[in-house]
Structure 1
Amino acid sequence: METEGFAIYDAMMQLKNEIHTVAVGAAIGQACLLLSAGSKGKRFMMPHAKAMIQQPRVPSSGLMPASDVLIRAKEVIINRDNLVKLLAKHTGNSEET
């Protein structure tokens, strides 16, 4: 979940001590951000682990009014853009990469 992932990220950024992160299995989406937010030199992946982001998805709209669908879609795009910016910051890569 995006909101929870950003909340954990914010809490991690408040800590003064080193943060060790380890990917076991797959770190996808927000988990990928949390992995990258570990202290430089303290981020690890197991040999067969994967780290990746995915295209955002709008939660099921069902019979929701079109205006609500539009609001949710905008939130998803904003969250995706924030995720990419933070990943670029922590990995030293460009946002395009």
Structure 2
Amino acid sequence: MEIKEIIEELDKNGEVSLDSWRAVSVKRNRDGTVDVLYRNLQIGTDDDPVFLWVYANVIYEERKVRVLERITFKKEDLLWLFRYVSKKKGEGL
């Protein structure tokens, strides 16, 4: 399946509405999955966008796409996560 077909399949199945979300990046993985990053067209601003990350399994023989995980987040969420992950070992809560 081509990337465009995967995105259209997610829309057709009601997983991600292209009326609300625009795909901004897609990464194919060796294990037959894809990571799709969407940006919300209705919520957020250019300075403070809202994103949706979708992790999906692509079944090429059946031409199906199944969502395994999805997360909605803002840029500030990533900054918080990176600050936490980059802390030295043992500096937890």
TM-score, length-scaled by structure 1:
0.22
Q: Greater RCO between the two (CA within 8 Å, min separation 6)?
A: 1
TM-score, length-scaled by structure 2:
0.22
The structure where helix makes up a greater share of residues is 1
The structure where strand makes up a greater share of residues is 2
